[in-house]
Amino acid sequence: MQINTLIVIPARSGSKGVADKNIKLLGDKPLLSWTATAVSEANLSDCLAILSTDSANYADVAERIGLSAPFLRPADFSTDTASAIQVAEHALDWFLHTYGYLPDWLMWLQPTSPFRSPTIIRQAWSILKSGQAEAVVGCKEIHRDLTTLFRVESGFMQPLDSDKPTQTSRQQSQPLLTPNGAMYLCKTDYLLEHKSFYPPKTVPLVTNAIQSLDIDTEEDWAIAEAYIKQGLV
């Protein structure tokens, strides 16, 4: 059976915000396991899910939870400055040399977004396979107007949009969208040619605050544990 979608779960070692967070127990299982379970329960056909890691220890953990870790990522692609595109390209290069062809699509699922559901994964896959989009990106809403978003210039706040009066009413502003890091699904040929997950026909897949949680700090980890304790996931 030909594999049409390569699902890459990136998990390098050396996290500074939360030490070894990708294999740290969240609830009763390693952080990696939340994403691996969601992929398994999504039950996608014609897909291959792999872990991309630089750590033999992480690879062992992945294998124990039923996630394939067919290679160790080179050090050059495991630094703080290595981009997601570089890591995706490395995984696609491995796939090409292993299978002799490239998959049509690449799905990128960061383990630091543990609460994205199997339904979200299936929904993204269905959108792209319908042929109406070139990519699907997980997003969350920001209920702010550009007049209330600021950059700092010479130490002072400057609004992103200063051409109209400051708008503070949530009801009068159209929500903005920002990627939440939980989901990227893109046509492989576009990703490789343009080094981007954002082709012109990119569909946003909006998720709620819990599904959008991206664990980067100890505070984020505490929030994730609170969600679990309260039975919200």
What is the residue-wise DSSP string for 60-103? HHHHHTT-B---B--GGGSSTT--HHHHHHHHHHHHHHHHSS--
- What is the torsion angle, in degrees rounded to the nearest 10, for the CA atoms of residue 88, residue 181, residue 71 and residue 56? 150
- What does the pLDDT read at residue 157? 92
The sign of the CA dihedral 85, 90, 94, 97 is positive
Q: How far apart are CA 56 and CA 47, in angstroms?
A: 24
DSSP 121-133: HHHHHHHHHTTS-
Sequence letter at residue 110: Q
Tokens read off for 176: 């903005």
What is the block-wise mean pLDDT of the chain (233 residues), using blocks of 10 residues?
Answer: 94 85 95 97 95 96 95 88 93 97 97 96 93 94 86 92 72 82 96 96 96 96 97 94
How deeply is 98 buried, as exposed, middle or buried, from its count of CB atoms within 10 A (0-12, 13-18, 19+)?
exposed
Taking a C-beta distance cutoff of 8 angstroms, is the pair 108, 8 a contact? yes
pLDDT of residue 82: 86
DSSP 190: H
Q: Which tokens is 199 given? A: 């082709």
Q: Nearest 10 degrees: CA dihedral of 175, 179, 180, 181?
A: 170
Q: Tell me, what's the pLDDT at 172?
A: 60
Bridge partners for 5 per DSSP: 47, 105
| pLDDT at res. 145 | 81
**CA triple 125-192-33, angle to 5 deg:** 45
Is residue 200 helix, strand or coil? Answer: coil
Q: What are phi and psi of 209, to 5 degrees?
A: -65, -35
**d(C-alpha 26, C-alpha 203), whole Å:** 31
The CATH class for the domain spanning 5-229 reads alpha beta
Model confidence, pTM: 0.91
